[in-house]
Amino acid sequence: MSEAHSGRVREALAKAELVRASDLTLIECDRVLIRAVNTGKLSESKVAGRRARLRQAAEHWIILGIGPDVVERARRPFLKEPVRTLDAIHLATAIFAQTLVGGICLLALDRSVRACGLELGFQLLPELEE
């Protein structure tokens, strides 16, 4: 699903006035790149280019740490369970960001995260036919 919608994700990010992301987002992106090299799906040089683009994009993002408020919220149930551990951290980060500034849209492709995000009252991006 994620590759099929990568253009929509890039478009949503490009249109965003401000992007807030969890430290976990960058960790997961780096892990995908490491895995791509180790499985032979991408060369080191292609990964270096993608890593540079990620770093350039993330320079304009507000990166939210996985602090005590996020951890505490991620440890509690969500309205649509089951929620996987890393998804719980992403959702808890979105809730934390919402309490700071409001008006947060949740960028997600995972069906479970999107369902939970809707229950939490987030507008979802990208718009998908579900």
Residue at token pair 């719980």? 88
The CATH architecture that domain 3-125 belongs to is 3-Layer(aba) Sandwich (3.40)
CA dist 106 → 16, 31, 67 (Å)? 11, 22, 19
Residue at token pair 């990010």? 13
pLDDT in the model for residue 3: 64
| Domain map (residue ranges) of the chain | 3-125
pLDDT in the model for residue 1: 37
pLDDT along the chain (130 residues), means of 10: 73 93 96 97 97 95 97 96 97 96 93 95 87
Could you tell me the pTM of the whole model? Answer: 0.90
Structure tokens of 117?
């995000």
pLDDT in the model for residue 130: 59
* Geometric angle at alpha carbon 11, from 89 and 16, rounded to 5°: 65
pLDDT in the model for residue 6: 82
pLDDT in the model for residue 2: 46
Q: Please state the φ and ψ torsions of residue 105, each to the nearest 5 degrees.
A: -100, 145
Residue at token pair 């409001």? 102
